[in-house]
Chains A and B, each alone.
Chain A
Amino acid sequence: MKSVVVNNISKRYGSKKAVTTALRGISFEVDKGELFGIIGPDGAGKTSLFRILTTLLLAEEGTATVDGLDVVKAYKAIRQRVGYMPGRFSLYQDLTVKENLDFFATIFNTSVEENYDLIKDIYSQIEPFKDRKAGKLSGGMKQKLALSCALIHRPSVLFLDEPTTGVDAVSRKEFWEMLRKLKEQQITILVSTPYMDEASLCDKVALIQSGKILSIDTPEGVVRSFGKKIIAVKSSNMLNLLADLKKTELLEDAYPFGEYHHAVLKNESNEHELKNYLQQKGYPFEIKGTDPNIEDCFMALMKN
């Protein structure tokens, strides 16, 4: 059975004069126990989509089911079985870690002890601070607490809206580790993120931009479908280099990528031609072929 089915969902905000379209006919399916990533820039419609699926927002068009239940008709049943972690930390800052967890457990008619095994790995990291007020926790700890609270009623589907935004690199890595472990519990996880490098950590990714899905595939599938050659170039003057790369007809696209610039070759051109072109510019540079990764694919998709 599909865990989440979204069929042609559209959402508009505002009245007649100033309408913002957040989602334009989105459809996708998520299998049970899948870690599904929704990748897109700010304002792509990720949060609107999550709010519709967690029954907080009504869509104008289209239907969606979560765990086989319609998000409009069976919203009460859905609220029993989904966990939602909003992008912004929204637990009670004036209650302690333990009080927050207890509170969310009790309003779902369960207890922390009952589902302790599920959150053990995550919660044990913040347990030493269980008497500290939630507002006084660090960003990474807040996020762990929020995840614990979202999991405490053993949801079958977990929605994580930009869980890693504003979290340091180490905590981000840890967080994805935790998600991997949760997957083993057969919990379906939908996670949205603006960071493309996190896409490769998902089972499947949907790239979303301006309320439309550009592609849905496994991370490997996305890379495989790229089909263009990427050249990494480096020089002492990166700014001039980028300007020169943008000027040439040989390339489809060029953008900074870590310590290199990535140059996407047109099908008809090759690395040698690019090398010749850059040598004419008269400054030292370093050039090498590289494998496209998922970010390159998304850059290309978003360009079109």
Chain B
Amino acid sequence: MRTLKFLLQKEFRQIFRDPSILRIIFIMPVIQLIVLPWAADYEIKNIKLAVIDHDRSDYSRSLTNKITASGYFILTDYTSSFEQTLGEIEHDKADIILEIPASFEKDLVKESESKLFMAVNAINGVKAGLGSSYLRSIIQDYNREVRTEWIQFPRFSPETSIEVTNSNWFNPSMNYKVFMVPGILVLLLTMVGSNLTAINIVKEKEIGTIEQINVTPVKKFHFILGKLIPFWVLGLLVFTIGFGIAWIVYGIYPAGSFLTIYLFAAVYLLAVLGLGLLISTYANNQQQAMLISFFLMMIFVLMGGLYTSIDSMPGWAQAITKANPVSYFIEVIRMVVLKGSGLADIKYQLLTILGFAVLLNGWAVVNYHKRS
């Protein structure tokens, strides 16, 4: 125990003496949590729309007005030539073209039916898909308005119709920040935990200090604990700072208890630190350690369910996410923060992460040799 105390003392001293580590620990959560949630917005705005109006009637103008008034679209062009407007798409100046035929108003009034043409630039799939469906729903809405203007419906509709109303549970305003911020917090914790540990130990390898420690009677177990505990503490500190920012900036306060979150975070950190430790036993220099952890982080982030829903991934990809500790914590933190889930609800995830912690640390300890 005495040895461990001195190892910890040394480790903390080094960490607090390294301004770059401190900067990362305090600035990273602030920047990431303040900037990212605003940028990582699922809503598509500022879609560039070009309208080709061959009709130039009251109806076509009021339709155009309605579309631009929605706030999603920016009218970049209003012409009567398809050729010219297609050029706009080619030069990336328009995302969607809406073509209004010459007989739009006439057909609508006389035949009660008219057709519109929509051409979508599908290079950015998300933007194309969402943009065209926004536009479609605005046009449908417009259609309804036109009908109510003309027909006085009877008190009871002669046609049967189903009307759907919905209410959003746990996140009534569908505020994406409420579920993005906790997710980003998880990534933050993962990065601090695995990168700092891996790089710290590999640095000792590079400088040769590990050699000097290896010839001493310091036990492997002490040395590893001496490395894990400081970063465990730092990880929880970063996590706390992150939660503070989430509360102050976004007003996000967990519906569930902090105890549940911290318990999970504590176990999760063990797993992530174990990963860092494992990387350090394989990497011989800091570059290798960085590359391995970047590679893993990319997979963790993109397959962690932060940006895309795991449920919509193909079966094999879902199987991979089972081996991704990040996905469990993102799930749990959203459950606790939004839904107020308790320990009983997350026990499966907690046990899985505990398993990860035992596996990764065990593997690392076996792979760490004091002699070669």
Assess whether B209 is in contact with A91, with CB atoms less than 8 Å apart. yes
Interface size on A, residues (CB 8 A): 28
The digit string for B8-25, where 1 denotes a CB below 8 A from any CB of A, is: 001001100110000000
Contacts between chains A and B (CB distance < 8 A), count: 67
Is residue B212 contacting chain A, with contact meaning CB distance below 8 A?
yes
Known contacts being A56-B371, A94-B18, is A104 close to B216, with CB within 8 Å?
Answer: yes
Provide the residues of chain A in CB contact with B18, threshold 8 Å. 94
Assess whether B208 is in contact with A92, with CB atoms less than 8 Å apart. no
Assess whether B217 is in contact with A108, with CB atoms less than 8 Å apart. yes
Provide the residues of chain B in CB contact with A75, threshold 8 Å. 371
Q: Which B-chain residue is minimally distant from A159 (CB atoms)? A: B215
Assess whether B212 is in contact with A91, with CB atoms less than 8 Å apart. yes
- In the complex the two chains form, what is the Cα distance from A84 to B208 in whole Å? 12
Interface size on B, residues (CB 8 A): 23
Assess whether A56 is in contact with B215, with CB atoms less than 8 Å apart. yes
Assess whether A55 is in contact with B215, with CB atoms less than 8 Å apart. yes
- In the complex the two chains form, what is the Cα distance from A75 to B14 in whole Å? 29
Is residue B3 contacting chain A, with contact meaning CB distance below 8 A?
yes
Is residue A300 contacting chain B, with contact meaning CB distance below 8 A?
no
- In the complex the two chains form, what is the Cα distance from A153 to B50 in whole Å? 81
- In the complex the two chains form, what is the Cα distance from A265 to B35 in whole Å? 81
Provide the residues of chain A in CB contact with B309, threshold 8 Å. none
Shortest distance between the CB of A196 and any CB in chain B (Å): 26
Contact of B215 among A54, A88, A95, A103 (CB under 8 A): A54
Shortest distance between the CB of B284 and any CB in chain A (Å): 14
Assess whether A106 is in contact with B371, with CB atoms less than 8 Å apart. no
Contact of A57 among B213, B216, B372 (CB under 8 A): B372
Shortest distance between the CB of B216 and any CB in chain A (Å): 5
Provide the residues of chain A in CB contact with B218, threshold 8 Å. 107
Assess whether A99 is in contact with B13, with CB atoms less than 8 Å apart. yes
Provide the residues of chain A in CB contact with B217, threshold 8 Å. 76, 79-80, 107-109
Assess whether B216 is in contact with A88, with CB atoms less than 8 Å apart. no
- In the complex the two chains form, what is the Cα distance from A93 to B13 in whole Å? 12
- B:213-243 near A, CB below 8 Å: 213-218
Assess whether B10 is in contact with A82, with CB atoms less than 8 Å apart. no
Is residue A86 contacting chain B, with contact meaning CB distance below 8 A?
yes
Assess whether B372 is in contact with A107, with CB atoms less than 8 Å apart. no
Assess whether A79 is in contact with B208, with CB atoms less than 8 Å apart. no
Provide the residues of chain A in CB contact with B7, threshold 8 Å. 107
Is residue B115 contacting chain A, with contact meaning CB distance below 8 A?
no
- In the complex the two chains form, what is the Cα distance from A56 to B214 in whole Å? 7
The digit string for A179-205, where 1 denotes a CB below 8 A from any CB of B, is: 000000000000000000000000000
- In the complex the two chains form, what is the Cα distance from A164 to B17 in whole Å? 30
Q: Which A-chain residue is minimally distant from B7 (CB atoms)? A: A107
Known contacts being A58-B372, A94-B18, A107-B3, is A84 close to B215, with CB within 8 Å?
Answer: yes
Assess whether A95 is in contact with B372, with CB atoms less than 8 Å apart. no
Contact of B10 among A89, A90, A95, A108 (CB under 8 A): A95
Assess whether A94 is in contact with B17, with CB atoms less than 8 Å apart. yes
Contact of B212 among A76, A86, A93 (CB under 8 A): A86
Shortest distance between the CB of B181 and any CB in chain A (Å): 35
Is residue B123 contacting chain A, with contact meaning CB distance below 8 A?
no
Provide the residues of chain A in CB contact with B10, threshold 8 Å. 92, 95, 99, 103
- In the complex the two chains form, what is the Cα distance from A82 to B215 in whole Å? 8
Known contacts being A94-B14, A107-B3, is A58 close to B208, with CB within 8 Å?
Answer: no
Known contacts being A55-B371, A56-B372, A109-B2, is A79 close to B211, with CB within 8 Å?
Answer: no
Assess whether B17 is in contact with A84, with CB atoms less than 8 Å apart. no
The digit string for A28-62, where 1 denotes a CB below 8 A from any CB of B, is: 00000000000000000000000000111110000
Which residues of B come within 8 Å of A, CB atoms? 2-3, 6-7, 10, 13-14, 17-18, 207-209, 211-218, 370-372
CB-defined A-B contacts under 8 Å, sample of 24: A54-B215, A56-B211, A56-B214, A56-B215, A56-B372, A57-B371, A58-B371, A58-B372, A75-B371, A76-B217, A79-B216, A82-B215, A84-B212, A86-B208, A88-B208, A93-B207, A94-B17, A95-B14, A99-B10, A103-B6, A104-B212, A106-B3, A107-B3, A107-B216
| Given pairs A79-B216, A88-B208, A103-B6, 10 additional interface contacts (CB within 8 A) | A56-B372, A84-B215, A90-B209, A91-B212, A94-B14, A94-B18, A99-B13, A107-B6, A107-B216, A107-B218
